[in-house]
A and B are shown apart, each in its own frame.
Chain A
Amino acid sequence: MGLIERKLPDNVLTTSVDTVINYCRKSSIWPVTFGLACCAIEMMACGAAKYDFDRMGIIFRGTPRQSDLMIVAGTVTRKMAPVVRKVYLQMPEPKWVIAIGSCATSGGIYNTYSTVQGVDEIIPVDFYVPGCPPRPEAFYDAIVALQQKIMTEKVIRK
C-alpha cells in the first residue's frame, strides 16, 4: 500500500481493489468438509485444539455452496469420482482445490482396479501435498502457499 503524500488527508491509504479483495479472500478461506479416508482424520486434527485452523480464518463448512476451497483428503475411488466432481461443480467461483496425501495426488499405494490415480483426473488441482498422511504442518504449508497464490490473482480485469 502506498501513500500519496500531501494530496489526501493523513489517514487515507491507497491501494488497488485487487489487493483488498484478495486480502479478504485469503483471510477467510472456507473449505468444504470433504474427508474421504485416513488423511481426513489429520484434517480433523488440524481443525481441532492443537493445530487450530480457525486462527487462519479457516472454518469448515458442511456444504459446497458456502465454500471456496476444497480439500480432497483421501483416496478417490471410481465410485466416488462423480461425487467429487459434482461437489466441485457446486462450489461458487472463485474456488481452489488442494489434494492432500499421496492417494489424492497420484493414487498412492493403491494402484488397483478401483482407485482413481490422482484426483487431477477429474478436477483441477492447485496444490499437492505429499505424505501418507501428511503432517498437519504440511497442511499449513499448503494453506500458506494458497494464500500467496490468492494474493497474485487479478479480480477486476481478468
Chain B
Amino acid sequence: MTFEQLVQNLDAQFSGKLNCYTEYKCNFIKVKDASVYKDVLKALKNDASFLYIVDVVATHWPKKKEKFEITINLFSIQNKLRIFVKVAGEDNKFPSITDIWKGADLMEREQYDLMGIIFEGHPNLKRVLLPEFFEGHPLRKDFPLKERAWFNNADEQGLGLKFSR
C-alpha cells in the first residue's frame, strides 16, 4: 500500500476531516476535526497495519491560534510506510492513545513533562525526566533558557545543598 492508496481509503472513511500531504519526503495526515482523532488512529492500526508506534512529539506554537500540536509517528512494517498523524488544539488537552499502543505510555509522559500536554485518560501521568518539584515545562517557548532558580526550591534529602551558579 502506498501513501496515495492509504489516503484514498481514509478519505472514504473520514471525508473532509483530514488533510494529507507530503513534505520533504515525509507523509503527513493532519486531522482537522479533533473528534475523529482517535478513530483515525484506530483505523490506521487495525485496518492499515500501522502496528509499530515510533514516537509522540508535541510542539508549542505560542503565536498561532492552535497553540499545541501533537504529531504521532507511525510505521507500517508490512507496507514499509511511515506516516505522521497530526492534531492541533487551542489548549494543552489531548486524548491519550495509551489504549491503542501500550508504548505510548512513556512517550506521552515525556511530552507531559517537557511540554505540559495533559493526555486525558493516561493511566500514570506524572513527571518522568524532571523531579516533581520542578515548576513549568522547559520545552515551551516562553520558558527561560538559562534560568536555574528552581534548583533551590527543594532539599529533597535534607543534605543542605545550596546552588549559586
Q: Enumerate chain A interface residues (CB-CB to B < 8 A).
A: 78-79, 81-82, 85-86, 89, 107, 111-114, 116-118, 121-122
Contact = CB atoms under 8 A, between A and B. Distances in A.
A122 to B, nearest CB: 6
Contacts of A86: 157, 159
20 contacts: A78-B131, A78-B150, A81-B161, A82-B159, A82-B161, A85-B157, A85-B159, A86-B157, A107-B165, A111-B146, A112-B145, A112-B146, A113-B138, A113-B144, A113-B150, A114-B130, A114-B138, A117-B165, A121-B164, A121-B165
Nearest to B162: A121
Contact of B156 (A82, A89, A117): A82
B163 interface: yes
Interface of B: 130-131, 138, 143-148, 150-151, 155-157, 159, 161-165
Contacts of A112: 145-146
Nearest to A122: B161
Contacts of A85: 157, 159, 161
Nearest to A118: B165
Nearest to B164: A121
Nearest to B163: A121
A81 to B, nearest CB: 6
Contacts of A122: 161
Contacts of B165: 107, 117-118, 121
B83 to A, nearest CB: 33
A109 B128 CA distance: 23
Given A82-B157, A82-B161, A113 B131 contact: no
Contacts of B164: 121
A33 B87 CA distance: 46
Given A78-B151, A78-B163, A82-B159, 5 more contacts: A78-B150, A85-B159, A113-B143, A113-B148, A121-B162
A45 B161 CA distance: 32
A113 B159 contact: no
- A-B pairs, top 4 by smallest CB distance, nearest first, are A117-B165, A82-B157, A79-B131, A85-B159
A118 B143 CA distance: 23
A113 B145 contact: yes
A79 B165 CA distance: 16
A36 to B, nearest CB: 15
A80 to B, nearest CB: 10
A79 B148 CA distance: 13
A105 to B, nearest CB: 12
Contacts of A114: 130, 138
A118 B163 CA distance: 10
A79 B159 contact: no
Nearest to A83: B157
